[in-house]
Structure 1
Amino acid sequence: MIKFYHKLLIILTTITVVSFLILGFIVHNSIYTISVEHQKKELQKHAQQIISLHHNHNDRRIQSLAETYESNILILDKGKTYRVNTNQDFNIEKRKAELLRQLKSENPVYILDGKAGEYLFGIEKGNVTLLMSGEYDTVYALQMQFWKYLILMGIVFIALIFFTVRYINRTYIQPINEVSYAASLLTQGNYRVRVPESSVKETRELYVTINVLARRLERLNSEQKIQRNRLVTTLENIPSAVLMIDKHGNIVVANKTFYDIFNENTNVEQQNYEKLLHPTLKKLVVEGFRTEKPVYDQVELHLNQIHQKFFDTSCVPILTRTKKRLQGMVIVLHDITQLKKLENLRRDFVANVSHELKTPITSIKGFTETLLDGAKNDEASLDMFLNIMLKESNRIQSLVDDLLDLSKIEQNTELDKHSIRLSKVAHHALEMIQPLAQDKNIELIDEINDNVTAMADESKMSQVIVNLLSNAVNYSPPDKTITIRVYNKERCKVIEVIDQGIGIAKEETYRIFERFYRVDKARSRDSGGTGLGLSITKHIVEGYQGTIEVESELGKGSIFRVQLPE
């Protein structure tokens, strides 16, 4: 691409050359015309003088004039021809017929042969015809001299143009180009660009202005980046999902929490909210746009067929400072699912504790009143009632002990941990459950590998295994088998309790570790269970950074699997 400097130089040079050529041709022709007219007049005067001398028969004077004019002369008078020749060799005889022919149409006749440098002149006066020829290179010499001066002037003028354009380029064009380039870099976001200070007064202010602008833009950009980074950091670390929607309904901002909660793998920005949001949320957004006032509500969203979440939702319209024009809306979704679950658990816990305590207390109170009414005098009834009251008291004590254990486990996130022989703990737990299994004729199968160790506490792990085995015995019909396995696995220790009991329905498996939850409530109460065993087991296992899971099929049995890290 040709620069402006070169364009200007080419244009001015072209204009100069064309102007000088036009001027040259005009002057060239003017020199020819003026010179020819001048010589024509001079030759006419000379011809009249020679004709006058011819009439006076002054041949010597004619000869002298011919030599002075360096011309050959041919005089035709009444059929006679008079020649006056000089030492010059001109072809007047060859052009004689041509001159005489032209004299018939014009008088006098002048012919100039520029290439040969020869002129021919003819005039007719009365009966006398005078023809003259001679050398005449003055016109050509003047023209050549003119072209030399013109070319020299053109070269000088072009040189002046070159230096003038160069000066203009350095003084004005180059600074403007530098400022233009700097401005283009500024538009591209390069705010560190600077232009050197100019010594030219006319462009110094332009340089100073562009540098001041660049510094201000750099400062503003830095401040904007800091503010944007703060905003992005804040949005990305807010535990709530945040969406910003413009006035056209397109999403312009979505933070990381939104993608995590709704499992969005594609970028949602610049997409319309109606295609992405849940219908319940869309209603709140529409309400916010309609009223231009904040909308607050708690919503329940089913993210898929299994999971549902609860959100404390805020839809806040963004208005201009004058509060006359709606610019968009900010949607904040605060996940309160855990709070809802805790609230439900607390409510269920209070209800269950109340129920579990109320039942034995009511039973003890009833038997006490019966004894006070006179049944104490019957020894058989007295023994039976006292045994029942003792059993119910033991139930209350077990419930309180389990609640205290669960509370201690929840409060102490760091459990005692040291190397234990897990195989030995499992054998001891199996011995403890053996009498309970014999009462139902249940066979306990020992598949415990020797020398299995773990980083845990013996009493806590014994409680875990006993709880799992006692549950298996309680929920298994008579004459079944229960298998316990303890073995090493890659990077973990595994405990498995496999029964052939009543099993657990698939929709209930995720609830069996909740407090007071029972698969078969009647069977659990008959066995003296409190409904807290599996909940305590889960808390102990998780306290050792382990996992507990269950595989079950209704009517066929269950497998409880505990995995402890090495």
Structure 2
Amino acid sequence: MEHSEGPNSEIQEIPDEVARILAVLPSCSIVADQDGNILRASPKASALGLVNRNVMTVREIAKLVHAVAGDGDSREEEMRVRRPPLGREMLELRVRVADLGTGAILVLIDDLAEERRVDAVRRDFVANISHELKTPVGALSVLAEAVQSASEDPEQVRHFAERMQMEATRLGHLVQDIIDLSRLQGDDPLTHSNVVDIDEVVQRAVEDVRMIAVDRGISVVVASEAPTFVFADASQLQTAVRNLLVNAIAYSSDGTSVAIHTREINSIVEIMVKDQGIGIPSNDLDRVFERFYRVDPARSRVTGGTGLGLAIVKHVCQNHGGECAVWSEVGVGSTFTLRLPTYTGADAENATNESDIVEVPAMNGDLRS
């Protein structure tokens, strides 16, 4: 027999054959007993907010489970429900429920809205990326010709070589961000979810950006009101927080400070990154999380920004059932806020037991906004 170790308040056994089937299913899955208590839930079910400890959070799904438990007949239904716990996003789901004949009920859930969104994104992405790749590739071509023309002038060759290196680095950053964004938009981006200590995520992200902050004379100030935990992919959250910090540093003046503050309000974890930078015009605020959108294209080019950093932040939040917001005033600065559902399981209540909390993996690679 195998047991579940996830966002449940208690661990219960399920048949081995059921565990083997669930391990290879691509769909979001839940196994419940005849009373609707959860025996096992996939990471995606937790990320979508469909389960909380051993309870189903969506009433419509719970009703289907009770109906199947009552008469044994399989059911399939498409439904549109509010995503727990914030309730601000609508989920379009295809729910299939079947009695496994072992005292357990299997629930398979497909996110229809996500499927349609991914298809649309893939179509648009090809057009956008073709345009974005033209700039560094075209620049490299022009610079290569310039090097050939200046072959007898060492100073000019050195100058053009430095420019070529900058463009090649920018191209590498762009390709890496494209890969990251593609993974986030994949069919199951949360296969490595676990209980994550937010303070640990923040500390790792701050360490990632420490050198670029020091080079600019910018101090990074960290504040945490209390230990907070989420059920998440730790590396994704670290990338999101790091991107916000890099963005804040890139658009701040030398010698200023960037603050990152974490807190929990009404079972929601908030991660706020505040800068004293140039600010964002009000008519740009609604678009800052769009792919390849740049408030100041010239400055973005100087800082090496790819235009994908904040889009990655948005997708990380969405994957974890959260949301991201921004406040800004031109000439004063900006505050970006990530809001994520708090993990309320027994492990978080006993956070002093460090073996229950996942260690955030170290991140490698270059930093950019």
TM-score category (smaller protein): 0.5 to 0.7
SS in 2 for 1:551: strand
In 2, Cα distance between the equivalents of 1:344 and 1:444?
A: 35
Could you report, residue by residue, the CA deviation over 1:532-560 in whole angstroms, capped at 9, with x for unpaired residues?
A: 11111110111011111111222211111
SS in 1 for 2:328: strand
Contact kept? 1:443, 1:479, Cα under 8 Å: yes
Could you report, residue by residue, the CA deviation over 1:344-395 in whole angstroms, capped at 9, with x for unpaired residues?
A: 9966x5564333212211221112112223x234333333322221221121
SS in 2 for 1:451: coil
SS in 2 for 1:412: coil
Question: 1:500 is aligned with what amino acid?
Answer: Q
SS in 2 for 1:405: helix
SS in 2 for 1:411: coil
In 2 relative to 1, CA 351–476 (structure 1 residues): closer, same or farther, beyond 3 Å? farther
In 2, Cα distance between the equivalents of 1:379 and 1:543?
A: 51
SS in 2 for 1:537: helix
SS in 2 for 1:455: strand
Residue matched to 1:401: 176
In 2, Cα distance between the equivalents of 1:456 and 1:445?
A: 24
Question: 1:421 is aligned with what amino acid?
Answer: D
Residue matched to 1:448: 224
How far 1:445 sits from its partner (Å)?
1.4
Residue matched to 1:472: 248
In 2, Cα distance between the equivalents of 1:553 and 1:368?
A: 42
SS in 2 for 1:408: helix
Q: Does 1:410 align with 2:190?
A: no
Could you report, residue by residue, the CA deviation over 1:289-334 in whole angstroms, capped at 9, with x for unpaired residues?
A: xxxxxxxxxxxxxxxxxxxxxxxxxxxxxxxxxxxxxxxxxxxxxx
Q: Does 1:424 align with 2:205?
A: no
Contact kept? 1:423, 1:449, Cα under 8 Å: no
Residue matched to 1:491: 267
Contact kept? 2:193, 2:234, Cα under 8 Å: no
Alignment of 1:125-524 (within 5 A): 349=125, 352-373=128-149, 375-415=150-190, 416-449=192-225, 451-524=227-300
Residue matched to 1:541: 317
In 2 relative to 1, CA 346–510 (structure 1 residues): closer, same or farther, beyond 3 Å? farther
More relative contact order in 1 or in 2 (CA 8 Å, sep 6+)? 2
SS in 1 for 2:151: helix
How far 1:432 sits from its partner (Å)?
1.8
Larger Rg: 1
SS in 2 for 1:420: strand
Alignment of 1:76-155 (within 5 A): none
Contact kept? 1:484, 1:498, Cα under 8 Å: yes
Contact kept? 2:147, 2:161, Cα under 8 Å: no
Contact kept? 2:183, 2:189, Cα under 8 Å: no
User: What number of residue pairs does the alignment pair up?
Assistant: 230
How far 1:435 sits from its partner (Å)?
1.8
In 1, Cα distance between the equivalents of 2:122 and 2:255?
A: 37
Question: Please, which runs of 5 or more residues in structure 2 have no aligned partner?
Answer: 1-77, 81-115, 343-369
Contact kept? 1:413, 1:543, Cα under 8 Å: no
Identity of aligned residues (%): 37
Residue matched to 2:103: none
In 2, Cα distance between the equivalents of 1:517 and 1:481?
A: 25
In 2 relative to 1, CA 516–345 (structure 1 residues): closer, same or farther, beyond 3 Å? farther
Contact kept? 1:487, 1:494, Cα under 8 Å: yes
SS in 2 for 1:560: strand
In 2 relative to 1, CA 473–345 (structure 1 residues): closer, same or farther, beyond 3 Å? farther
Contact kept? 2:250, 2:303, Cα under 8 Å: yes
In 2, Cα distance between the equivalents of 1:432 and 1:408?
A: 21
In 1, Cα distance between the equivalents of 2:250 and 2:280?
A: 14
**TM-score, length of structure 2 as denominator length:** 0.57
Question: 1:382 is aligned with what amino acid?
Answer: V
In 1, Cα distance between the equivalents of 2:121 and 2:321?
A: 26
Residue matched to 1:248: none
Q: CA RMSD in A?
A: 2.9
In 2, Cα distance between the equivalents of 1:558 and 1:529?
A: 17
Question: Please, which runs of 5 or more residues in structure 1 have no aligned partner?
Answer: 1-236, 240-338
